[in-house]
Amino acid sequence: MRIEAIEIRRVSIPFLEPFRTSFGTLTHKEAVILRVVGSDSFGWGECTALEAPTYSSEYVDGVEHVLTHQLLPRTFAARDVTATGLASLLADVKGHPMAKAAIEMAVLDAELRAVGLSLATYLGSTRVAVDAGVSVGIMSDTAELVDAVAAFVECGYRRVKIKIEPGWDVEPVRALRERWPDLPLQVDANAAYERRDARHLARLDEFDLILLEQPLAAGDLLGHAQLARMLRTPICLDESIESARDAADAIRVGAAEIINIKAGRVGGLLEARRVHDVCAAHGVAVWCGGMQETGLGRAANVALASLPGFTLPGDTSASDRYFQCDITPPFRLLDGRLEVPTGPGLGIEPCDDALGGRTISSRVVRP
C-alpha cells in the first residue's frame, strides 16, 4: 500500500472514576490515534502508551514526537508499506514498541478493509465472543473494594483482577474470598515487590488465586523463577514480555506459568500472535491485557483474545467500565462476554461527533 497521508490525533476521555495503581492514579485516558490513508483504503490505529512513563518508558508526548520525527518519515519513504513488513522497515529505531504498534494496527486495518476481511479472521480467531474480565484499582479500604467488586460481579464479569502493592495485598484478597469463595480472582502487582518479599507473597497461596501478575521488576526473570518455585500461586508475566523471544526465555527458565499478552507492549498484533503461538507450543496459558483503550484498541484486543490459546478471561471489559462515552460505538457485556467484531479490519471506527468532542489536537502528515 502506498500511504498518502497519516493523521495524528490526540484524544482525552475522562474515566467514570479514578483508577489507582501502584504507579499512580489515572483520571482520564489520553491517547494517540492514527488514521492512515492509502490510495485505495484507510485504517485506524491506537497507541496504548499512558500520559506519563509510569507503566513503561513510552508516554503520549514522546510517542507523538517519535512518530513525527522518526517512524512516519521511514514509513513514507517506503514505496510499498505492508503490515508484515513494518517491523523490518522500522527496526533501526530502537524501542518504542507502542508507537510502532499503532502504525501497524492502522496499516493492517487498512489492508484488511481493502479486501473485506476481519482482523479476527486474519489472526486466526476460533470464537464469536470472548469471556470478559475486569480490573479493579487500589481502593481506600476493603469495604469500598468489596462494594466495587460486587457491582462488577452483578454485571456478569467472569473474572475479577485487583491491583495490589505492599500494604494492600493479603487483607483485600481475604475480604474478597470471604465474600465470594468461588470467584475467579487474580492479582496484579505491576512490579511493586522485591525478591525479599517472597515469604509475604506466599501468604496469597491460601486464597486459590488464578495467578499473581508481575510481582517483581520487568527485567528480573531469575527472581520470578525463584518466586515461582516458592509459591503455589502461578506466576504471570506482563511487563517482562516484550517479544516472542522474551516469552520463550521466561518459559525456559521457569519464570512464567501464564503470560499476559498486550499487543502494544510487544510491538504490534503480529508479534502478539507470535507470543501466543510460542506459549501454545509450550502449553502455557495466555490472556489479553488491557490499557484502558478506546473502542479502537478494544476491538483489536477482542479480536486477539478470540485466538485459541487465550484460555483465561482478559481485561476486555465493556466500554462502560471506564467511559460514559467512548469515541466508537460501545462494546457491551452480554452474559459476561464481548462479541468479536466481524466487519472488515477492526470492524469498528470512531463516531465523528464523539471523536471530535474528545480531540485535543489533530494534524495531518504527508510524504
Return the number of other C-beta atoms located less than 10 Å from residue 355's C-beta: 20
Q: Is residue 228 helix, strand or coil?
A: helix
Phi, psi of 238 (to 5 degrees): -125, -85
For residue 2, what are the contacts with CB-CB under 8 A and spacing of at least 6?
Answer: 38, 39, 79, 80, 81
CA distance 84 to 105: 11
Q: Which of 29, 100, 161, 163 is catalytic?
A: 163
CA distance 26 to 220: 26
DSSP class of residue 232 equals: S
For residue 339, what are the contacts with CB-CB under 8 A and spacing of at least 6?
Answer: 128, 129, 302, 331
Three-point CA angle 29, 189, 290, nearest 5°: 35
Active site residue 262: yes
User: Dihedral (C-alpha) 234, 238, 239, 240: value to the nearest 10 degrees?
Assistant: 60
Element (H, E) at 344: none
CA distance 301 to 306: 9
Q: Supply 101's cell numbers.
A: 504498534
DSSP class of residue 176 equals: H
Q: Are 78 and 6 in contact (CB under 8 A)?
A: no
Q: Which of 29, 100, 161, 262 is catalytic?
A: 262
Q: Supply 171's cell numbers.
A: 487483607
| Beta strands 258-261; 185-188: pairing state | unpaired
Q: Supply 70's cell numbers.
A: 522518526
Three-point CA angle 114, 301, 8, nearest 5°: 60
Q: Supply 207's cell numbers.
A: 486464597
Residues involved in catalysis? 163, 262
